[in-house]
Amino acid sequence: MDIARRAVAMRTQFLIFTDLDGTLLDEHYRFDDARPILAEIRERGIPLILTSSKTLAEMRLLRRAMDISDPLIFENGAGLALPEDYFRNNATPNPQAPLRIEHFGPTYAEIRATLTRLRERHQFPFRGFGDMTAREVATLTGLDEIAAQRARQRHGSEPGVWEGSEAIRQDFIAELERAGLRAVSGGRFLHIMPRIDKAEAMRELVGRFTAAHPDVRYRVIAAGDSPNDAEMLQLADLAVVIRRPDASWMPLKRREGVIRSPLPGPAGWQQCIERLLREDPGGET
């Protein structure tokens, strides 16, 4: 087959990466307003990659509740969870398939050791989830204690609260960078994590999709609402910025290919994703 014929044979498919809290989940951690378009995504076989600061333990439950069979990006890109045989040709999507875990960067224990050393040396007023009981995490997040315990089951990042001045916070961030870590603001928490983010994890997965399906040209959609989503939205073909509860939108550097939701949370997510799918109902160009 020559190049021209091969180009004709290429088909285009959406590939959706989405944040959870404040985006596909509302303040009560529900996604009811997005159920109609989630069903359509599933019926059309469009990969939907949940991409969150949440732990793998939390995301497994949400993946099951949403009846999703696609990979996960957990803890802001610190790791991937890949269903067994997912990228094998003609594999049937299976929400019950075992997940293979891949980690990027240092382990949770190593991150905690670095934080302990920095606090002992500089008395930085940062309290991570590992410093709190499940009850304290529940109070901060609005989760019940069982869900809060899942939020404490970390693999490669540490969320927490900053209890000091902005000047000292900048000193803390500088020390983290010298230690090979970074601090990312996401919602109510400061996330301490490796030098990888959602955008890099998304790039890794897009590469795997492309290698597994060379006859497909993927149009990547990324949806989010907070600074830890910004690079992911910058990288995508189409960026969906979800309105925040205060009626603002996260600023982006890019101007083209950006959609801002009129409504916050999953209702806004439903509006924007539905609009994109309606503009290209067959998923092809």
- Which amino acid makes up residue 109? A
Among the listed residues 162, 177, 179, 159, the one whose alpha carbon sits nearest the alpha carbon of residue 228: 159
DSSP-assigned letter for residue 17: E
> How many other C-beta atoms can be found within 10 angstroms of the C-beta atom of residue 26?
19
Residues facing residue 127 across a β-bridge:
161
Note the residue count of the chain.
Answer: 285
- Which amino acid makes up residue 64? R
> How many other C-beta atoms can be found within 10 angstroms of the C-beta atom of residue 73?
27
Using CA atoms, how far residue 284 sits from 134, 216, 220, in Å, is 47, 10, 13
- No. of helices (H) and no. of strands (E), the chain: 10, 12
Residues facing residue 14 across a β-bridge:
219
Q: Which backbone phi and psi does 217 adopt, to 5 degrees?
A: -105, 115
DSSP-assigned letter for residue 253: S
For residue 65, what are its two tokens?
A: 């509740």
From the candidates 2, 19, 237, 280, which is the catalytic residue?
Answer: 19
Using CA atoms, how far residue 135 sits from 11, 165, 178, in Å, is 50, 26, 33
Among the listed residues 22, 183, 52, 55, the one whose alpha carbon sits nearest the alpha carbon of residue 115: 183
Q: Is 19 a catalytic residue?
A: yes
* Catalytic residue IDs: 19
